[in-house]
Amino acid sequence: MRALASLIALLCLTLASRADARPYAPVDALHADVTRRIAAGQFEDLLQDTEQAQKSQQRLPDGRWRLAILYGGLRDGFRDAARGADDWDRFQAQLVTLTTHHPDSSNAWLMLASLHEAHAWGVRGTGYANSVNDANFARFHALLEQARTVLDKHHGLLKDNPQARALRIAIGGAAGDDPAELDAAFAEALRKSPNYHQAWFERLRFLTPQWGGSIDQMAAFIATASSHPSASDGNGMTARLLWIAQEFGHPDLARRPEIDWNAVRKSYDDVLDRFPDRFNAIEFALQACGKADKAETARLLARVKPEATPDDLGGSAGFFRACQDWTSGKVPNFVLRDPSTGKLTVIK
Residues 34 and 171 in one domain: yes
Predicted local distance difference test score (pLDDT) of residue 152:
97
Looking at the domain assignment, is residue 267 inside a domain?
Answer: no
Instruction: Give the number of other Cβ atoms within 10 Å of residue 265's Cβ.
Output: 20
1: in domain:
no
How far is 290 from 188, CA to CA, in rounded Å? 34
| Burial class for 314, CB neighbours closer than 10 Å (0-12, 13-18, 19+) | middle
Q: What is the pLDDT of residue 5?
A: 43
DSSP code for 15: E
| Beta-bridge mates of residue 344 | 337
State the CB neighbour count (10 A cutoff) for residue 299: 18
Query: How confident is the model at residue 19, as a pLDDT?
Result: 67
CATH of the domain at 148: 1.25.40
> Quick one: CA dihedral 208, 212, 215, 219, positive or negative?
negative
Q: For the chain, how many structural domains are there in total? A: 2
Is residue 164 located within the same domain as residue 302? no
What's the CA gap between 165 and 243, in Å, rounded? Answer: 21
Spans in the chain with pLDDT lower than 70: 1-14, 19-20
Distance of CA 113 to CAs 11, 145, 282, Å?
51, 10, 35
Q: Can you give the pLDDT at residue 11?
A: 42
- Kindly report, residue by residue over 77-123, the tens digit of the pLDDT: 999 999 999 999 999 999 999 999 999 999 999 999 999 999 999 99
What is the pLDDT at residue 13? Answer: 56
Query: What string of DSSP letters covers 75-112?
Result: HHHHHHH--SHHHHHHHHHHHHHHHHH-TT-HHHHHHH
Task: State how far the Cα of 69 lies from the Cα of 26, in Å rounded to an integer.
Answer: 10
Q: Residue 98 and residue 79: Cα distance in Å, rounded? A: 19
Question: From CA 116, how far away is CA 74, in angstroms rounded?
Answer: 11
Instruction: Examine residue 340 and state whether it is found in any structural domain, yes or no.
Output: yes
Residue 318's domain comprises 276-348
Within a domain: 224: no
DSSP labels, 172-237: HHHHT--HHHHHHHHHHHHHH-TT-HHHHHHHHHTTSGGGT--HHHHHHHHHHGGG--BTTTBTTH
For residue 11, being part of any structural domain is answered with no
